């Protein structure tokens, strides 16, 4: 999304970097918002801030720019998009059969909401401390919130990177 804040950008890069590092040398891939995702059986597409797949990615066509089987999707909430991200977009994401984890990340405070698919239900977990760990079972990654919020106003040492 053009015109995002510094914190928004840092959070996207931090989380994608943490996942990329954890997946390096293993199965799975992580993508940022340039990789679109097809939602449902129709021709609707979204551009999540971060998407990841545990196994081999299934791509729509020879363009290789549309992911069909995300295991995890993450959105960083902005004042202008939060209602859409929590409402219509989240409902659309639930139509993706392969999706197991949907993550909503606040950019104005330390708060991460993880929605994990358990059978037909989605179980919500809220994380609010930098010492908390985001457990993404769908891709086999545990990401500390201190890593997600590094260099933001809410991160370790008020903007200092974590060790």
Does the pLDDT of residue 2 top 90, yes or no? no
Q: Which two tokens stand for residue 128?
A: 């609010």
* pLDDT tens digits for range 119-148: 999 999 999 999 999 999 999 999 999 999
The CATH class, in words, for 6-148 is alpha beta
The whole-model pTM stands at 0.90
Sign of CA dihedral 11, 53, 28, 47: negative
CA distance 152 to 61: 38
- Residue 4 confidence (pLDDT): 82
Arithmetic mean of pLDDT, 41-59: 89
Does the pLDDT of residue 34 top 70, yes or no? yes
Q: Which two tokens stand for residue 46?
A: 């979204």
- Residue 44 confidence (pLDDT): 87
- Residue 148 confidence (pLDDT): 97
Contact at 8 Å (CB) between 137 and 126?
Answer: no
* pLDDT tens digits for range 88-123: 899 999 989 999 999 999 999 999 999 999 999 999
- Residue 26 confidence (pLDDT): 93
What is the chain's percent helix, strand, coil content, to nearest 5? 20, 30, 50
Task: Name the average pLDDT for the chain.
Answer: 90
Share of the chain above pLDDT 90, in %: 72
Arithmetic mean of pLDDT, 82-88: 90
73: nearest Cα among 41, 95, 42 = 95
Q: Residue ranges per domain, the chain?
A: 6-148
CA distance 134 to 121: 19
Arithmetic mean of pLDDT, 25-54: 90
CA distance 2 to 5: 9
* pLDDT tens digits for range 63-79: 888 999 999 999 999 88
């Amino acid at each position: 999304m053009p015109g995002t804040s510094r914190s928004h950008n840092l959070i996207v890069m931090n989380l994608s970097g943490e996942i990329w590092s954890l997946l390096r040398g293993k199965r799975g891939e992580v993508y940022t918002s340039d990789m679109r995702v097809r939602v449902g059986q129709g021709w609707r597409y979204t551009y999540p801030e971060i998407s990841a797949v545990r196994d081999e990615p299934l791509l729509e066509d020879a363009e290789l720019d549309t992911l069909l089987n995300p295991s995890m999707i993450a959105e960083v909430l902005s004042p202008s998009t939060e209602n859409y991200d929590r409402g219509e977009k989240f409902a659309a994401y639930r139509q993706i059969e392969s999706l197991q984890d949907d993550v909503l990340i606040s950019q104005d405070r330390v708060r991460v909401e993880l929605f994990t698919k358990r059978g037909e239900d989605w179980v919500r977990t809220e994380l609010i401390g930098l010492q908390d760990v985001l457990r993404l079972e769908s891709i086999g990654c545990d990401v500390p919130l201190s890593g997600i919020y590094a260099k933001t106003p809410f991160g370790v040492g008020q903007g200092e990177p974590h060790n």
